[in-house]
Structure 1
Amino acid sequence: HLNFIRRYRLIRKTFRAYDKKFKTRSTAIVHGDTLTTVVGSYFGRLLGLPVSHIEAGLRSGRTFHPFPEEIDRRIVSRIARIHFAPNEAAIENLKRENTKGDIIDTKYNTSKDALSIADTFESKVIEGLNLPSRFGLVSIHRTELLERKKELEEFLSVISKAAKKEQPLVFLDHSTTKEKIKVSGFDKYLNKPGIYRIPKLAYMDFIQVVKRADYILTDSGGLQEDAYFLGVPAMIHRLTTERNEGLGQNVELSYLEKDRLEDFIRRQKNETKITRLTDTTSPSSIVISYLKEERYIR
């Protein structure tokens, strides 16, 4: 933002004055793998602050899959000096890349704590959606899939054929997904009995839908984690994933293959949810403890 660029020296001076007065150390905290994560890291560096990256070290091993998230992660790991890694694989990735700074093992992603908070949330929205008693949940939004017209149509065709009155699907209309489907002329696959289209929801409301689902079809890494924590069977419709949560248990990867997708849906008639993860470890508490010990927060 131009106003930020013009005033960053004053902002930097303010941070330094605050740290001197309260004997603290300021840090810029970013999360995840989006463009805003990269921009936030850059602004943090511009202000002379050490950047803390939550969800650090995730790698698919393929630069352009998923795009641009894999590139975003690699850029941020070069800028950050405090890396909160959610598992051993992420830690090894950072070490292998000779990443500078501290690497802290948070055991899981902080979404685990968000799910715990969601357990006590009473949604006023979900009842108005008129969801079927049992359903599969569909959520796609990644550039990797939306920009591949052939693969997108194939995916929509598969779920269109699979959706039936006795085995309905709830399709989440992300704004970008909805527009891409419309301009591609693919609405015909979704406008049929057995498919319930609902708008994108606030996180707490959406998790109530996730918890009710019999299974999930998605291209979301975050939803992969949620499915693992909640024990909901999930098919991740991507070429590769940067996360290992749930793989080989209740989570499968389609590699964008139609046959794998169809087989997964077919098997859900007899599949059941696995037991929800009961580990009480709090990733957020690990982050807070580190920041307190290092005087980044009081």
Structure 2
Amino acid sequence: MIVFIYGTTAEAIKIAPVIRRLNAKGIPYQHWVTQQHTDSLRKAIPELGFTSPDETIANGFRGKPLKSPRQMISWIFDVVRWSVRNVRRIRKELPPNSVVVVHGDTMTTVLGTFIGRRLKVPVAHIEAGLRSGDWRHPFPEELDRRIVGRFAHIHYVPTEEAGRNLAKRPEVVFTHGNTAKDAVRDAAGDSDAAVESFGLVLLHRFEFISNPQLVTETLRTLDGNSPLPLRLIVDAYSRDAIEKTIAELGLSKFTVMPKLEHSQFVAALRSASFVVTDSGGIQQEAAVFGIPTLVHRKVSESREGIGTSAVLSGWDQSTVAEFLANADRYRVLDVDPGLSPSDIIVEDLIARGLAAPAQSLES
């Protein structure tokens, strides 16, 4: 049995292509949620075509999104309590040759890995091996990846560099990219997108939002230097800080929008003239289509698009301004779609005897 453990909307989006391919082959699986995100994840699950979760491990902070370190700690204790109460029962229920699959660099990735270890089944990590080289940036994501890299059993690495970072680990599989590639291709279909006259902005990471001076400087630079109106997508965690700063500074180029359904987001992404983001996932998705992208981070463990369609700001405001003035020079046409990371993952799980297509189950 394949068991996906995830807790954020981004994780759900990136495991969705794998789940779609399992469905196509009639391969059974379960998905367990920690609700690290609450409202947005509950909305995304049916939109992505998922069934109701087989296990709800936790439910945010009293059913609401996590917005502070104190709430995060409370949520972690909820996950640990669930594990103490249920792991022994589930260990007896899981069939032989089961596997826990986690994704990325969240606290759910870490906790899901330890749940898998307690269940005494192998743990497979999708998007493994990425490293920024500095544990402080991005924080805590870089630490999360290093912890999971030590305790997971199977490592699905999206790049050769990520594979080299795990050279001492057994069971490293090169997937030729991130499953985000499949997520945006599945959502986009074969239709072309016309470029519209707006910039798409998504800034939400803890290390950015928790730095008021950086938030102020960045929003002021974007408003003062963008030649186009800006559509700024916020989540429950980032909304308050960003909206407050925009109001206090009297900025006029921003239209603040809530998170979109993934297919709607992909349509907005493909239509944008450029993207400004601190999200590694958005960086990867934009690179699929060669969209000019400013990665507004100190460092990035993801290399997708860097040097072609993407620029790393290093939080330097002059780099932000330069990108805005010359964004179109970074647009890349005719990006090679390459192999499907999700296909590679599913075929590897089958080869390991951890998944079996329906016809194999019947024979």
- 1:278 equivalenced with 2:278 (yes/no): no
Give the corresponding residue for 1:176. 237
Distance 2:183 2:334 in 1: 15
Read off the aligned partner of 2:203 and give its amino acid letter. I
Give the corresponding residue for 1:187. 247
Distance 1:179 1:42 in 2: 33
Decide which of 217, 220, 228 is 2:279's aligned counterpart.
220
- Structure 1 residues 6 and 292, CA, compared in 2 at 3 Å: closer, same or farther? same
- 1:247 equivalenced with 2:247 (yes/no): no
Aligned pairs, number: 274
Decide which of 86, 89, 92 is 1:10's aligned counterpart.
89
Distance 2:92 2:248 in 1: 57
Q: Following TM superposition, by how much is the alpha carbon of 1:162 offset from its aligned partner in structure 2, in angstroms? A: 2.7
- Structure 1 residues 186 and 197, CA, compared in 2 at 3 Å: closer, same or farther? closer
Deviation per residue, 1:10-38 (Å, 9 max, x gap)? 210111xx22xxxxx11100011111111
Find the residue that maps to 2:294 and give its secondary structure. Answer: strand
Q: Following TM superposition, by how much is the alpha carbon of 1:276 offset from its aligned partner in structure 2, in angstroms? A: 4.0
Read off the aligned partner of 2:353 and give its amino acid letter. R
Segments of structure 1 that go 5 or more residues without pairing to the other structure are 20-24, 123-131
- 1:45 equivalenced with 2:117 (yes/no): yes
Decide which of 167, 189, 205 is 1:142's aligned counterpart.
205
Give the corresponding residue for 2:347. 289
Deviation per residue, 1:246-293 (Å, 9 max, x gap)? 11111101110010101110113x536211423341111110111001
- Structure 1 residues 142 and 182, CA, compared in 2 at 3 Å: closer, same or farther? same
For residues 40-119 of structure 1, the aligned pairs below 5 Å read 40-95=112-167, 98-99=168-169, 101-119=170-188
Distance 1:44 1:198 in 2: 37
Distance 2:209 2:269 in 1: 22
Deviation per residue, 1:147-200 (Å, 9 max, x gap)? 111111000101121346xx21111122211112345x44344752x3222111
- Structure 1 residues 75 and 60, CA, compared in 2 at 3 Å: closer, same or farther? same
Identity of counterpart residues, as a percentage?
Answer: 35
Runs of 4+ in 1 over 4 A off after TM superposition: none
Find the residue that maps to 1:175 and give its secondary structure. Answer: coil
Distance 1:160 1:6 in 2: 51
Deviation per residue, 1:219-260 (Å, 9 max, x gap)? 111111111111101111111000111111111011100101
- 1:30 equivalenced with 2:82 (yes/no): no
Distance 1:66 1:58 in 2: 12
Distance 2:294 2:118 in 1: 40
- Structure 1 residues 108 and 210, CA, compared in 2 at 3 Å: closer, same or farther? same
Give the corresponding residue for 1:120. 189
TM-score normalised by L of structure 2: 0.72
Distance 2:266 2:250 in 1: 22
Contact (CA 8 Å) 2:309, 2:330: kept in 1 or not?
A: no
Contact (CA 8 Å) 1:160, 1:189: kept in 2 or not?
A: no
RMSD across aligned positions (CA): 1.9
Contact (CA 8 Å) 1:121, 1:204: kept in 2 or not?
A: no
Segments of structure 2 that go 5 or more residues without pairing to the other structure are 1-78, 357-363
Contact (CA 8 Å) 1:170, 1:195: kept in 2 or not?
A: yes
TM-score normalised by L of structure 1: 0.87
Deviation per residue, 1:34-84 (Å, 9 max, x gap)? 111111111111100110000000000001100000000000011101000
Distance 1:153 1:46 in 2: 44
Read off the aligned partner of 1:10 and give its amino acid letter. R
